Structure 1
Amino acid sequence: MKPFRSVLIAFGLLAATLASANDATEAPGTILSEEAIGGAPDGATAYRILYGSRSEDGADLAVSGLVIVPAGDIPVGGRPVVAWAHPTTGVVPACAPSRSPLRYMMIPGLRDMLKRGFVVTATDYPGTGPGDVQPFLDGPAEARAVLDSVRAAARIEGSGAGHRFALWGHSQGGQAVLFAGALKAGYAPELELAGVAAAAPATDLAALFRDDMGTKGGNNLTALALWSWARTEAAPFEPIVRAEAVPAIEAVAARCIDVLLPSPSKRAADKVLANGFLTVPDVAVVEPWRSIIARNSPGLLPAHVPLFLAQGGADVIVRPSVTQAYMKRQCGAGGRVKLLVHPQTGHGWIGSKSAETVVSWIEDRFAALPTPDDCIFPMR
């Protein structure tokens, strides 16, 4: 899953700050630290934050990210919030998007959202930033971090962030916002969800791994997943990986996926993986990976939550048929879905290509306008 290319720099928080943050027993969304940073567009104010979230078993987590506040007066009732969820950048702390010098460019539609008066949050997900490893493609973990970023925005003095929010994500981030939309009622009932927008979301993970295996992107995706799950799911990958490929998996996991100039070690690792590195034909049918993949494939949103899906017709990572199948299931459950297809667009660019339309759709949801529904008249 390839996001916008950028040069990511190492994530450097003081050890004392991280220790105190990870020992915190605060409510999810509590601000553990914040730092005003420059460079935000159109006079906006940006903060790099560390905030509280929760693990599956209820343990406290420290998660990093951004909150970007538009210029201008705070409207009565507060500003609406858009929670952005990013595509894959990597699984180690150095790959946190909030530390990238191009952090603002990595949020499609940011300038447009700020002009419309939206507060924008952008989580790094658990483990990318503080921590040791990201629980990769862990839908519930991503979802809690996304929802808690909305809570955190309201705790920044002067942000004016209200309880009404929308979700917007691409690829892995599409998976994150679909899970967040499904979990919101139980995890963050005080928040008011206006709608969910997802560009080429990772929905059917079994199909994703199966369709992409053997491609460079698919090999990297599988390597990242196996390396992460060995550490977060107690699922060692050695039983299904050729011994000579283990160093290549380690090399892939150690690098951020969107660095501009891949290192010689990363290029060498890609060559090893290209030769076939699994001892099983389909990881999605072998336990414990089958169960991990199944429980992290998002289910359907509540029928009353509007959904916008964007898809590139030339996407070979998340194939159009997979997104269309998810739409069909959501429609069949009574949902309202808007589908936008860019026929010539591939996976990496569908977020930016669809951003203008997505932001307008989100504004209409905040305004409680009638929701367009392609379940009745599907777009081609």
Structure 2
Amino acid sequence: MFANWFHPAAAIPKPRRAMALVLCSLAVLATDVAGTAAHADEIAGATMEPGSAVGSHGFSGGWGGIESARFIEYITEGPTGAPTMATGVLATPDGTPPAGGWPIVAWEHGTSGLGATCGISTNPRYDAPIVRRLLDQGYAVVAPDYVGLGAVAATTHPYLQSRTEATATVDLVRAARHVNAALARRWAVTGVSQGGHAALNTGGIADIYAPELEFRGTAALAPPSNIEGVLALAGPYVPEVPGFEGSTALFAAMLNGMRLAAPDTVAAALTPAGADALARIDRRCQREWQSAVRGTTIGSMLQRPVAGSPLADALTGYLRVPTSGYRGPLFIAHGTADNVVPIALTRLLLTQYTLAGTKYEFRSYDTDHEGIVAAAWPDVLSFVAAVLGPA
């Protein structure tokens, strides 16, 4: 899908080539199928505490054909750390739950957009088959929309913000257990692309953030990492490169999310053209990103180089993947032919893990970005079964 974003590498100076490759490499397919929902039931005793369930209802006709699926509204952290409303999906296997309840797998979806109509609760086409495969193994599944991507969103989505990806996931597990008493305390997380980034960040905080749960492990597929280092190469000198128009959209999406937490820092870095690009991409779903910023380049968006600026520090805090602090096993999968999220960035992350003393299992596959779920799935299921035990 993204082949038109790439040109021969030899045509681009090396630092700028690396930056452009990563900036245009983070999106996966957004989907178009809208679910319908019944009126939300209020949850007794709902509070503004993170993980509190506020409402829950079924989907008319099921969610992606999954009849057991329920839509959950719950409280989590917003981009500044203040409480906000988020949404997600809970699905349970058919039949009677085992003693102790169904173990939970959190599924983290890939890039879908920035607005309230872009979440997977209303767009199940890509993710519902993956959720169904987990249900077939006997796991309950929670799937967060992420902050800003659900019907009750109070803010645009803070795209690739490490903290809110993680807290939205953990708090959905908490909320799901309020909605359905047949869920176990033990759980694991897995996801792809942006969802791989979310899974790594979730694994980094899960044990400390929710000690009342039993977090068992993390599986990340084609996760973006070390983006902040590549973005440090950006500046007004970055030229317009035919075929790389999508990189501007992804850069704008990241800055649009980051200005929620650091508005002054982002505003000071942008030219009028940059501010206009963020205004045009705000709350749009991923399929509209490229057209929203057409005619704008990364260079035209920035007043000064990112390196050495306050923006560089803000990007690091916003995007960085933890290299230590994981509880439970850590599994990472990446395709050797991935031109969307380059495998070189994951290899750098693995080096950082080694230096930090973090143990991990890594497997590469002869596939591209869109093929990584199918290629790695048997190993993902084996990993999940090993960390969660019998369903």
What TM-score, normalized by structure 1, do the two folds share? Answer: 0.81
Question: 1:305, 1:335 within 8 Å by CA — same for their partners in 2?
Answer: no
Q: Which of 173, 178, 192 pairs up with 2:195?
A: 173
Query: Secondary structure in 2 aligned to 1:70?
Result: coil
Structure 2 CA distance for partners of 1:5 and 1:57, relative to 1, 3 Å? closer
Q: Which of 253, 256, 272 pairs up with 2:295?
A: 272
Aligned to 1:373: none
Aligned to 1:25: 47
Q: Please state if 1:97 is matched with 2:126.
A: no
Q: Please state if 1:288 is matched with 2:310.
A: yes
Q: Which of 82, 86, 91 pairs up with 1:63?
A: 86
Question: 1:35, 1:49 within 8 Å by CA — same for their partners in 2?
Answer: yes
**CA deviation after TM superposition for structure 1 residue 29, in Å:** 1.9
Q: Please state if 1:249 is matched with 2:278.
A: yes
Aligned to 1:374: none
The residue identity in structure 2 corresponding to 1:294 is: T
Q: Aligned ranges for residues 349-360 of structure 1 at < 5 Å?
A: 349-360=371-382
Per-residue CA distance 1:321-342 (angstroms, 9 max, x = gap): 1101212222343433222222
Q: Please state if 1:223 is matched with 2:245.
A: no
Structure 2 CA distance for partners of 1:125 and 1:303, relative to 1, 3 Å? closer
Query: Secondary structure in 1 aligned to 2:296?
Result: helix
Per-residue CA distance 1:68-104 (angstroms, 9 max, x = gap): 111111101111101112222122222222111xx15
**CA deviation after TM superposition for structure 1 residue 364, in Å:** 1.8
Aligned to 1:185: 207
Question: 2:72, 2:176 within 8 Å by CA — same for their partners in 1?
Answer: no
How far, CA to CA, are the matches of 2:260 and 2:360 in structure 1?
A: 37
Alignment root-mean-square deviation, CA? 3.3
Query: Secondary structure in 2 aligned to 1:195?
Result: strand
Question: 2:72, 2:87 within 8 Å by CA — same for their partners in 1?
Answer: yes
How far, CA to CA, are the matches of 1:111 and 1:268 in structure 2?
A: 33
The residue identity in structure 2 corresponding to 1:319 is: P
Of all paired residues, the percent bearing the same amino acid is 26
**CA deviation after TM superposition for structure 1 residue 64, in Å:** 0.6
The residue identity in structure 2 corresponding to 1:230 is: R
How far, CA to CA, are the matches of 1:274 and 1:56 in structure 2?
A: 26
Per-residue CA distance 1:49-76 (angstroms, 9 max, x = gap): 1012234776322111111111111101
How far, CA to CA, are the matches of 1:223 and 1:117 in structure 2?
A: 40
Aligned to 1:120: 141
Aligned to 1:308: 331
The residue identity in structure 2 corresponding to 1:183 is: I
**CA deviation after TM superposition for structure 1 residue 271, in Å:** 3.4
How far, CA to CA, are the matches of 2:56 and 2:256 in structure 1?
A: 31
How far, CA to CA, are the matches of 1:125 and 1:2 in structure 2?
A: 15
Aligned to 1:377: none
Q: Please state if 1:143 is matched with 2:166.
A: yes
Query: Secondary structure in 2 aligned to 1:96?
Result: coil
How far, CA to CA, are the matches of 1:280 and 1:252 in structure 2?
A: 19
Structure 2 CA distance for partners of 1:228 and 1:56, relative to 1, 3 Å? closer
Aligned to 1:342: 365
How far, CA to CA, are the matches of 2:343 and 2:367 in structure 1?
A: 12
Query: Secondary structure in 1 aligned to 2:377?
Result: helix
How many pairs are equivalent?
Answer: 353
Aligned to 2:16: none
What TM-score, normalized by structure 2, do the two folds share? Answer: 0.79
Moved more, 240-249 or 209-218: 209-218
**CA deviation after TM superposition for structure 1 residue 170, in Å:** 1.9
Q: Unmatched 5+ residue regions in structure 1?
A: 369-380
Q: Please state if 1:4 is matched with 2:29.
A: yes
Query: Secondary structure in 2 aligned to 1:99?
Result: coil
How far, CA to CA, are the matches of 1:222 and 1:171 in structure 2?
A: 16
